[in-house]
Amino acid sequence: MSSKEKPTLGGTRIKTRKRNIAAPLDPASFSDAVVQIYLDNAGDLELVAKSLESSDLNFSRYGDTFFEVVFKGARTQPGTIKLDEGECHPYSIIDCEPKREVILPSVIYIQKILRRRPFLIKNLENVMQRFLQSLELFEENERKKLAIFTALAFSQKLSGLPPETVFQPLHKDNLIAKGLVLSFITDFFKEYLVDNSLDDLISILKRGKMEDNLLDFFPSLKRTPEAFSEHFTKAGLLSLVEYNQKKIFEVTLKEMKSALTSQMAEEADISVVIETVKQHVKDAKFPDVEVVRILWDIMMDAVQWSGKNQQQNANAALRQVKTWSKLLNAFCSTGKLELELMYKIQVQCYEDAKLMKLFPEIIKSLYDQDVLAENTILHWFRKGTNPKGRQTFVKGLEPFVKWLEEAEEED
């Protein structure tokens, strides 16, 4: 009996499961290859960029290693900034002079690399973060080079380098306590402002979440507005000092407005309100003229206006003036400040329809409450310089001024 063979389908292929065979990690060979390109081209960055472009180096795997070679001249040991064994080149950013004209070509060179390989921006970010959180391991002039490079990188808008992550290591307490962060950001500010405006710098700081806490980069015992002004004035950064003073002014002003609005709504004792103002004035060093203007604004903002009923609005405004006249009186201590108050009232009455017809009554009320002196009112009437609504207000104030002049003649 003959056995029958089982039928088979011709042309079939037996499938075998494919295995992903990963190339071995070899950052040392990659680093040596990049270093050799630097050496072969004698550090000419344009030639280096061309050689890198024509090479078959695996940048996607060794991006961090590449930027270590750019910054330090060779790859670094894992978790440190120390150079590992292997080839090294002398054309790195850390080895050059701490001058913007020397470091700028490296920034432009990196920009060219990133345009062809935009995925490397994350590797640049990684290496910069690692170096900044290791500032204490660098020499002083090396830290300055890093600051100059960082400033130029943002100035050249280096392929979307994110300030919020690059600057994150600068919040480390130990670096701040040693004064390293303050030194770094001072060099950074000076270099960045060479080619950019203060507004550009503030935009960078906002994105880096640094704008509101610049004092935090000072050692704890020096976190005062006075120390801030002294340090950055010596560094030649007067525009930054003025910006910070303005910011402190605005924050304190907001706090004072909030506190006084609450006290007025609660009808707090006038002595308590005066002390509140004095404390804020002391903290923010408000100029006397600004204090008078601010107090008037706060008083008028606290009025309970009643829609379109003009008579009720007039009564509410005059009642507010009478109620808080002692507050104005406490800070209108000179004829000049009284005159500034009159100008402030003039402008607001001109710009606010609710108050347009109230100017003479407000001035008379402040005279009755001893806030404005007779001489101040007569000076404004005869020699006032602010043109806003002046003709209308002078005409409205004529009867009261005539009465003052007659009383003056009788005296």
pLDDT reading at 407 higher than 50 = yes
Q: Tell me what the mean pLDDT of segment 289-293 comes to.
A: 92
CB atoms < 10 A from the CB of 237, how many?
19
Q: Tell me what the mean pLDDT of segment 273-293 comes to.
A: 88
Hey, what are 2's tokens?
Answer: 């003959």
Place of tokens 């002049």: 405
Residues 108-120: tens digit of each pLDDT: 999 999 999 999 9
Q: Tell me what the mean pLDDT of segment 24-37 comes to.
A: 86
Q: What are the boundaries of each domain within the chain?
A: 27-237, 238-286, 300-410
Which CATH architecture group holds 300-410? Answer: Alpha Horseshoe (1.25)
Q: What is the mean pLDDT of the chain?
A: 89
pLDDT reading at 22 higher than 70 = no
pLDDT reading at 167 higher than 50 = yes
User: Which range (141-145, 225-229, 301-305) has the least confidence?
Assistant: 301-305
Residues 77-99: tens digit of each pLDDT: 887 888 888 889 999 999 999 99
pLDDT at 408: 66
pLDDT at 183: 96
pLDDT reading at 23 higher than 90 = no
Q: Which residues lie closer than 8 Å to 181 by C-beta, 6 or more apart?
A: 135, 170, 172, 175, 217
pLDDT reading at 382 higher than 70 = yes
For 361, half-sphere exposure in the C-beta direction (CA atoms, 13 angstrom radius) is: 15
| Helical H segments across 324-389, by residue range | 325-331, 335-351, 359-368, 374-383
User: Which range (172-176, 215-219, 252-256) has the least confidence?
Assistant: 252-256
Residues 339-353: tens digit of each pLDDT: 999 999 999 999 988
pLDDT at 6: 54
pLDDT band at 59 (very low <50, low <70, confident <90, very high): very high
pLDDT reading at 257 higher than 60 = yes
Q: Tell me what the mean pLDDT of segment 157-174 comes to.
A: 87
Q: Tell me what the mean pLDDT of segment 357-365 comes to.
A: 94
pLDDT band at 410 (very low <50, low <70, confident <90, very high): low
User: Which range (63-72, 237-246, 251-260, 301-310) has the least confidence?
Assistant: 301-310
What values do phi and psi take at 373, rounded to 5? -85, 160
Q: Quick check: 77 and 38 in contact, CB under 8 A?
A: no
